[in-house]
Amino acid sequence: MRDKILNSNEFKKLVKSKNAISLFLTVAELFVYFGFILLIAYNKEFLSQKIYGPVTVGIPIGIGVIVISWIFTGIYVSWSNKKYDQKVAEIKEKLGGE
């Protein structure tokens, strides 16, 4: 039973797709946050520019990092709910349930 699951192409694909999306989103999050930090460290002038009245570029970017992080978690959840759970159910069914 276990070997059957492990050796099935579906399971191998499942593991691969999940690892790929986890890794991709992790790298994206690291890129966004450390990019923000490096921008502050090396280009304060850019962030200090005014865009609208007293509002500087830095404000939407800072809030943006918070919002993007949340959107990333949303992408992951919706992918898992739609695609991943369905594949898991399929594998379980194909191999004769529990």
CA distance 54 to 31: 28
Cβ proximity of 75 and 25 under 8 Å: yes
Quote the least distance from Cβ 9 to other proteins, whole Å: 14
Quote the least distance from Cβ 63 to other proteins, whole Å: 6
**Sequence-distant (≥ 6) Cβ neighbours of residue 39 within 8 angstroms:** 46, 47, 61
Residue ranges binding other proteins (CB under 8 A): 2, 5-6, 11, 14-15, 18, 21-23, 25-26, 29-30, 32-34, 36-38, 40-42, 44, 47-48, 52-56, 58-59, 62-63, 65-67, 69-70, 72-74, 76-77, 80-81, 85, 88, 91-92, 98
